[in-house]
Amino acid sequence: YPPELVRNFSIIAHVDHGKSTLADRLLELTGTIKKGHGQPQYLDKLQVERERGITVKAQTATMFYKHSVNGDNISDGKESCKFLLNLVDTPGHVDFSYEVSRSLAACQGVLLVVDAAQGVQAQTVANFYLAFESNLTIVPVINKIDQPTANPDLVKAQLKSMFDLDPSDVLLTSAKTGQGLESIIPAVIERIPPPSGSCNSPLRMLLLDSYYDEYKGVICHVAVVDGALRKGDKISTVATGQSYEVFDVGIMHPELKPTGILLTGQVGYVVSGMRSTKEARIGDTIYHTKTAVEPLPGFKPAKHMVFSGLYPADGSDFEALNNAIERLTCNDASVSIAKETSTALGLGFRCGFLGLLHMDVFHQRLEQEYGAHVISTVPTVPYIFEYSDGSKLEVQNPATLPSNPKQKVIACWEPTVLATIIIPSEYVGPVITLVSERRGQQLEHSFIDSQRVFMKYRMPLKEIVIDFYNELKSITSGYASFDYEDADYQQSDLVKLDILLNGQPVDAMATIVHKVKAYRVGRELVEKLKKAIDRQMFEISIQAAIGSKIISRETISALRKNVLAKCYGGDVSRKRKLLEKQKEGKKRMKRVGSVDIPQEAFHELLKVS
Ligand code: GTP
């Protein structure tokens, strides 16, 4: 396939506007998968994706389509040509916008899909700008026109006023009924330019993604920018310089299909002798060993916005958790992992995530795919503390911040984000209240049309990390859409809040909060813990403290109950059963000093912000 007959495109949209369904229909239409293959959302391969109905990892599929291009010198307008189309599915959730930019690097154009009833939403705006800034051709598609509340004309007007997209260029479809679908691929072929690489230059490939397959080893997804790759070639990566032999090369159709060759402009897979995905760095340039090439621009490295400690639920399971995390990070290179130790929880890991949903998905995959049971600590964002001697400390784990530092803290900084919120105008009041409680600063407020308002805020990242999106959804009856991009650090009044059980600080429960919120958060944490911790044989005091100052306190009174009390000397097997049961219960406890803390206590703390 010469590059003129190749088109690389992606589908971008707000969450739930129908990308994956549309992708399925296009795969069916081109005969790539059978109609009614029984598995909706073909490209969503992970179990968590199917369960939650979201796309997490971008997938690629190659399709073939016969089309005649009028006046085109390839076919002279006489007969139709077979085109090779690479469709890259992208995630829609804010946490995964990093995956979106990665997918776009392999494309020359996008289908911008908008729901005919919901219209332009926050991620439509974010995704549009990602594509626009990458100079990609944008083909607007209004989907779900079969819905009774569909209003394609209003959505066309929004696309015109917000993005200057011509209403006559907009395609109307229903991925559900099939209406309008036939117009999509011809538009992709006619409007989106072919890839522009040079067939005669030395090979340069962009490494889009990599994962580990039990049978084949490391599989790399690549986009060939210049030159060609053949089976048996020797290749190297710019990052490591190491050389590998290509054992297998081909396309995703949508399953791996060996072709023995990949040409300029194509997207496909490569299997070489790489032993771990760590050797396959996403965004790296691959070239023929011993040829000199200029590296491709690559990607900005993933930015970790949220950190949390992960500990085995049962202390002895550290090795099992270690293995599970290692295997999972082979397929999710966007998580950062470092070992850490907590006096309360023992050996564990400090993990950096792209966002809260990413963290959730990571936990869920650990449990579902690798059978690991974990306790996670309160998510935190990376803060910076500056001391009077001029030194600076980046804090990814509140426990590592000294509660009574030797040097005076002279300044603290916290990361912020630019948040975009789109809502029907009747919800403006409650949303402004919520955002100002969360320390947001309004930057923009405008009308998209007569009913919808677009608002832009600068907000501390910490304030959106815990439950912001859920609250926003609930106060707007689900109508709000929300997206954010990271912005600069801002100076802020921060304090470390320690939790003490019987006078001993529990490192895994320490948090960093804004001074104004410290009292409220301290009180809530202490109350939550009082409810979650069972009475024990002695009195337990629960305190929240800033430095040496106690700001909140609760007491759990002592219990004198003996589990065996009811079976005086009686039945041995019943006694054993009771003791076994007690042991079971203990397993799920963490002991701090002399206090047993149930796992649920850690979960409860996650909900306080
Ligand atoms: P993410 O992968 O999470 O970003 O979502 P998505 O944009 O891929 O959305 P998806 O394809 O999963 O569709 C969301 C929901 O809309 C599903 O329940 C689909 O069945 C439904 N849907 C998709 N297209 C249409 C359509 O044309 N009409 C109607 N009525 N429903 C549709």
Q: Model confidence over 236-253: pLDDT tens digits?
A: 998 888 999 999 999 988
Sign of CA dihedral 361, 366, 372, 378: negative
User: Residue 384 to residues 164, 412, 414, 461, 464: CA-CA distances in angstroms?
Assistant: 41, 6, 7, 13, 18
Q: Which residue has the tokens 């966002």?
A: 355
Max avg pLDDT among 17-21, 172-176, 287-291:
172-176
Pairing of strands 81-89, 6-13: parallel
Residue 389 marked in a binding site: no
What six digits make up the tokens of 190?
A: 């006619």
* pLDDT tier, 581 (very low <50, low <70, confident <90, very high otherwise): low
Its pTM stands at 0.76
Q: Please tell me the distance between residue 367's alpha carbon and the centre of ligand 1 in angstroms.
A: 27
Phi/psi of residue 161, nearest 5 degrees: -75, -30
Residue 93 marked in a binding site: yes
Distance between CA atoms of 359 and 307, rounded to whole angstroms? 9
Higher pLDDT, 363 or 80: 363
Residue 73 has pLDDT above 50, yes or no: no
Residue with the smallest CA separation from ligand 1 atom 10 is 18
The type of residue at 107 is: C
Q: Please give the pLDDT value at position 561.
A: 54
What is the number of other CB atoms lying within 10 angstroms of the CB of residue 541? 15
Distance between CA atoms of 127 and 58, rounded to whole angstroms? 14
Cis status, amide bond into 193, omega within 30 of 0: no
Residues touching ligand 1 (Cβ under 6 Å) are 13, 15-21, 41, 53-55, 91-92, 143-144, 146-147, 174-176
Listed in sequence order, the residues at least 6 apart from 5 whose beta carbon sits closer than 8 Å to its beta carbon are 74, 81, 82, 83, 84, 194
Higher pLDDT, 26 or 485: 26
Residue in 17, 19, 21 to alter for ligand 1 test, most ligand atoms within 8 A of Cβ? 21
- Report the greatest alpha carbon distance in the chain: 98
Q: Please tell me the distance between residue 321's alpha carbon and the centre of ligand 1 in angstroms.
A: 35
Q: Please give the pLDDT value at position 584.
A: 53
Residue 49 has pLDDT above 80, yes or no: no
Reduced DSSP (H G I as helix, E B as strand, rest coil) percent helix, strand, coil of the chain, to 5: 30, 35, 35
What mean pLDDT comes out for the span 60-87? Answer: 74
Which ligand 1 atom is the nearest neighbour of the CA of 91? 4
Identify the H or E element spanning 541: strand 540-546
**Per-residue pLDDT tens over the stretch 486-542:** 889 999 999 999 999 888 888 888 999 999 999 999 999 999 888 888 877 788 899
Q: Please give the pLDDT value at position 315.
A: 57
Which of 102-106, 115-119, 474-478 has the weakest average pLDDT? 102-106
Residue 585 marked in a binding site: no
Q: Please give the pLDDT value at position 43.
A: 54
Q: Please tell me the distance between residue 108's alpha carbon and the centre of ligand 1 in angstroms.
A: 24
Q: Please tell me the distance between residue 289's alpha carbon and the centre of ligand 1 in angstroms.
A: 44
Residue 61 marked in a binding site: no
ipTM, interface predicted TM-score of the complex: 0.97
CB 23, CB 118: distance < 8 Å: no
Which ligand 1 atom is the nearest neighbour of the CA of 53? 3
Residue with the smallest CA separation from ligand 1 atom 16 is 18
Which ligand 1 atom is the nearest neighbour of the CA of 52? 3
Residue 18 marked in a binding site: yes
Which ligand 1 atom is the nearest neighbour of the CA of 13? 7
Residue 89 marked in a binding site: yes
Residue 15 marked in a binding site: yes
Residue 292 has pLDDT above 90, yes or no: no
Distance between CA atoms of 241 and 219, rounded to whole angstroms? 18
Residue with the smallest CA separation from ligand 1 atom 22 is 18
**Per-residue pLDDT tens over the stretch 417-429:** 999 999 999 999 9
Distance between CA atoms of 375 and 352, rounded to whole angstroms? 15
Q: Which of 273, 179, 195 is nearest to 228 (CA)?
A: 195
Q: Please tell me the distance between residue 302's alpha carbon and the centre of ligand 1 in angstroms.
A: 28
Q: Please give the pLDDT value at position 570.
A: 56
